[in-house]
A and B are shown apart, each in its own frame.
Chain A
Amino acid sequence: MNSIQKNRFKDRLFMYWGMFATLIGLVLLVVFIGDILIDGLGRIDWSFITNLPSRKPDKSGIYTALIGSIWILILTAFIVIPVGVAAGLYLEEYSKKNWLSGVLEINISNLAGVPSIIYGLLGLEVFVRIMNLGASVLAGSLTLSLLILPIIIVATREAIKAVPKSIQDASYALGASKWHTIWYQILPAAGGGILTGVILALSRAVGETAPLIVVGALAYVPFAPENPMDEFSVLPIQIFNWISRPQHGFIENAAAAIIILLLITFIMNGIAVYFRNKWQKKWK
C-alpha cells in the first residue's frame, strides 16, 4: 500500500467512524425510549393519570404532579414572556453600542450558563424567604422564569434580527413612530421566531427538577394546587421520588410517568420545530 492508498484508507475509515458516532447517539436514544416503553407502557391507564399519590405503587397516580406541572408551565409563561420579549426588544432596537450594552450582553450570556440549581438557591432566599411566598407554585414559577429568561431574550433578539430592514424603513416612511413600527410591524414579523424560542424554553422549564427541589417543592402533596399560593409537586419530582424507592412497583410507575413527561417535551419540541420551519420560509 503506497501513501496515497494509505491516506484514502484512513479517510474512508474516519468517514465510517463519523457515521457510527452520529448514529450511536440516536441508537442509544431509541434503545432508551424503547426500554422505558417496555417498563412503563403497561402501567399507563386512565386511573394512573387521575389517581392521587399513594404508598401502594399500583394505586398511585400522577394527578397532583401533572396538575402542578401545568400550573408551573402556565404561570411561568405569563411571567417570563412579557419580560423576556421586552428585554430582547430593548437590546435589539433601542440599545446603543457602548460599554453598557457590552456589560448587559456578557451578563445575559453568563446567566444562560449558570447551573439551574443555583437559580434554586436564589429562589429559596429571595422568593421563599424574603418575599415570604413559601414553597408555592408562584415561588416555583418565578424561579423557573429567571432560569429561562436568558433563553427567551436571546431567541427574541435572533428573531428580530431576521426581520428585513426594508419593513422597518417602509413603516418609518409612512410616518409611524418607533414604537408603532415595533408593535405593528416588527413584532408580528418576528412572532414565529419568538414563539419557537418561547416554546423551547418552556419545554426546558417543564423538565426542570433541581431548582424546584431546592425551592421546596414536595414529592408528596395530597391535593392538586388550586391557586398560586398552594404547595405543589411536578412530574419530574414525582419521577425522582419514585426512582428513589426500593419497591419494584415504583420503578414501573417512574417509567410510566417518564413516558408522559417525554410525550409533553417531545410534543412541545415538535410544535417549536413546526413554527420555526413555517416562519423561516416566510423570509425566503
Chain B
Amino acid sequence: MRKIKEYLIEKLLFSSVLITVGVTLGIIAVLGFEAFRFFNEVSIVEFFTDTQWTPLFTDKHYGILPLLSGTLLTSFIAIAVALPLGLSIGIYLSEYAPKKFRKTIKPLLELLAAVPTVVYGFFALIVVTPFLQGFIPNLSSFNSLSAGIVMGIMIIPFISSLSEDALHAVPYALREASYGMGATKLQTAFKVVVPAASSGIIVSIILAISRAIGETMIVAIAAGQQPRFTLDPTVPVETITAYIVQVSLGDVQHGSVEYRTIFAAGITLFVFTFLLNTYSYSIRKKYQQRYE
C-alpha cells in the first residue's frame, strides 16, 4: 500500500515536470503551424528581402526587415547603455566596494528590474523624450533613442548582478598573487579577475541582449508603431514585439493573413532568443564545471 502511494506521488510530480516540456512543444507547434500557413500565402523570399512591412494597408508588403531593424536598433542602444554601466557596477561592487555597501546596494539595483515595463514606457515617452528634445531638436516624439536608453537602464541589473556573481566567484588567491606583484586593484580587476570570470560575464551580456530583443511595452509605447527600415535613432520605428501588440489591440479577423503575420513575426523573435539562450546555457555549463 505504502509503495503504491509513493509510486503514484512520484508519477504525479513527474507529470508537473512534463508540463514544462509541453509548454516548449506547444510554443513550437503554435508558432510553427500558424507561420507555416502564413508562408503558404507569402513567399519566404519576400519575407526576408522586402524592405517594407505593411500587412495592415491596402498595398500589402510582408518584409520582416523593417521590424528586425527596429528590434536590433533599440536593443543595440539598450546594450550600449547597459553594458558599460552594468559591467562597471559589477567590477566596482566585487573589487572595490565594502561588503556592507554591496549587500545593501545589490537588492536596490535589482529593484530596477522589478519595475513593470509599462512604467518604463511612461518614463521614456513623458520624461526622457522631452528631455532629449532639448538637445536634439529634430527628435520626433516617438523614437528608438529614448526607448533604447530607458530599456538599457532597465537591464542594468541583469548585467551588474550576474557579472558581479561571476567576478566574486573568482578565487581570492588569484587576486593576492596579482597584488603581490605590485598591481593596483584596477590592473588586477581587468587583467586577472575579468578574464577569469569572462564566461560568466558573457552569459550575463547574452541574457541582457535576449531580454532587450524580447522587451515589448517600452518600445510599444515610446518607439512608435511605424515599421521603417532605418538605423536613424531619432525617427519612429516599430519592433517585432510592438507589431504583435499593435495587431492584438486592433480588430483583426482570426484566420486571416493579417492574423498570421503575428505568428510569423513571433517565430522570428523566438528563434533569435532561443539561439541566444541556448548559447548562454552551454557557456554556463562549461563555466560551472570549471569552478566546482
Question: Which chain A residues have a beta carbon within 8 Å of chain B's beta carbons?
Answer: 7-8, 10-11, 14-15, 17-19, 21-22, 24-26, 28-29, 32, 35-36, 39, 82-84, 86-87, 89-91, 94-95, 104, 106-111, 113-122, 124-126, 129, 146, 149-150, 153, 177-179, 200, 203-204, 206-210, 213-214, 216, 219, 236, 239-240, 243-244, 251, 254-255, 258, 261-262, 265-266, 269, 273
Residue B181 is within 8 A (CB to CB) of chain A in the complex: no
Q: Are B34 and A125 in contact (CB under 8 A)?
A: yes
Q: Are B27 and A8 in contact (CB under 8 A)?
A: no
Task: Verify B184–A8 contact, CB threshold 8 A.
Answer: yes
Q: Are A91 and B17 in contact (CB under 8 A)?
A: yes
Given A94-B13, A236-B118, A255-B122, decide whether A121 and B262 contact each other with a Cβ distance below 8 A: yes
Number of B interface residues at 8 Å Cβ cutoff, please give it: 83
Would you list the 5 A-B pairs with minimal beta carbon distance, nearest first? Answer: A115-B214, A18-B92, A207-B116, A113-B277, A86-B16
User: Inside 8 A of A177's CB, which chain B residues have their CB?
Assistant: 2, 6
List the A side residues contacting B281 at CB < 8 Å.
106, 109-110
Cβ contact of A15, chosen from B12, B96, B123, B274, cutoff 8 A = B96
Q: Residue B80 at the A interface, CB < 8 A?
A: no
Tell me the complex Cα distance, A171–B244, Å: 53
B104 to chain A, nearest CB (A): 11
Which chain A residues border B123 with CB–CB below 8 Å? 32, 35-36
A113 close to B276 (CB less than 8 A): yes
The answer to whether A115 and B92 touch (CB under 8 A), given A14-B186, A83-B19, A121-B30, is: no
Contact check, A258 vs B122: say whether CB atoms are below 8 A apart. Answer: yes
B115 in the interface (beta carbon within 8 A): yes
Give Cα distance in the complex from A195 to B10, angstroms: 23
Query: When A10-B186, A111-B24, A262-B115 are in contact, do A273 and B107 touch as well, CB less than 8 Å?
Result: yes
Bound CA span A240–B218, Å: 10
Total number of A-B contacts with CB less than 8 angstroms? Answer: 245
CB pair B20 A25 closer than 8 Å: no
Q: Does chain A have a CB within 8 A of B270?
A: yes
By beta carbon, the residue of chain B nearest A211 is: B216
* Cβ contacts under 8 Å, A255 to chain B: 122
Write out the residue numbers on chain B whose beta carbons fall within 8 Å of the beta carbon of A86.
12-13, 16-17
C-alpha gap A213/B211 in the complex (Å): 19
Q: For A214, list chain B residues within 8 Å (CB).
A: 244-245, 248, 262
B57 within 8 A of A: no
Query: Which residues of chain B are within 8 angstroms of A153 by Cβ–Cβ distance?
Result: 20
B214 touches A118 (CB 8 A): yes
CA distance A114 to B30 in the complex (A): 14
The answer on a CB contact under 8 Å between B111 and A110 is no
Main secondary structure of the interface of A (DSSP, over half): helix
Main secondary structure of the interface of B (DSSP, over half): helix
CA gap between A278 and B215 in the complex, in Å: 34
- B116 and A261 form a contact (CB under 8 A): yes
- CA–CA, A54 to B166, complex, Å? 51
Quick one: given A83-B19, A87-B19, A109-B277, are A261 and B119 in contact (CB under 8 Å)?
Answer: yes
A18 adjacent to B91 (CB under 8 Å): yes
The answer to the question of B127 belonging to the interface, with a C-beta cut-off of 8 Å to chain A, is yes
Q: Which residue in B9, B17, B92, B244 is a CB contact (below 8 Å) of A21?
A: B92
Contact of B216 among A19, A200, A210, A262 (CB under 8 A): A210
Q: How far is the CA of A139 from the CA of B93 in the complex (A)?
A: 43
- Asked whether B194 is an interface residue with its Cβ less than 8 Å from the other chain, the reply is no
Q: Mark B84-108, 1 if CB is under 8 A from A, else 0.
A: 1100110111001100000001011
Closest to B214 in A: A115
**Residues of A contacting B14 in the complex (Cβ-Cβ under 8 angstroms):** 90, 94
Bound: A155/B186 CA distance, A = 35
What is the CB-to-nearest-CB distance from B199 to chain A, in angstroms, rounded to a whole number? 15
The complex places the Cα of A255 from the Cα of B109 at a distance, in Å, of 22
Q: B277–A213 contact, CB under 8 A?
A: no
> Are A262 and B119 in contact, CB atoms less than 8 angstroms apart?
yes
CA distance A124 to B281 in the complex (A): 29
Give the chain B neighbours of A87 by CB distance below 8 A. 13, 16-17, 19-20
How far, in Å, is B200 (CB) from chain A's closest CB? 15
Q: Are B20 and A117 in touch, CB under 8 angstroms?
A: no
B242 to chain A, nearest CB (A): 9
Contact residue among A36, A120, A243, A266 (Cβ-Cβ distance under 8 Å from B125): A243
- CB pair B89–A22 under 8 Å, yes or no, is yes
Q: Are the C-beta atoms of A90 and B93 separated by less than 8 Å?
A: no
- Is A115 touching B216 in the complex (CB atoms < 8 A)? yes
The answer to whether A35 and B127 have CB atoms under 8 Å apart is: yes
Contact B127 A32 (CB under 8 A): yes
Complex contact B19–A117 (CB within 8 A):
no
A79: min CB distance to chain B, Å: 11
Given A25-B112, A146-B23, answer yes or no on A240-B121 (Cβ-Cβ < 8 Å): yes
In whole angstroms, what is the CA distance A150 to B245 when docked?
24
Measured CA separation A240–B217 after assembly (Å) = 8
**What's the least CB distance linking B138 to chain A, in Å?**
22
Report the separation of the CA atoms of residues A21 and B81 in the bound assembly, to the nearest whole angstrom. Answer: 11
With A15-B92, A118-B27 as known contacts, state yes or no: A90 contacts B17, CB within 8 Å.
yes
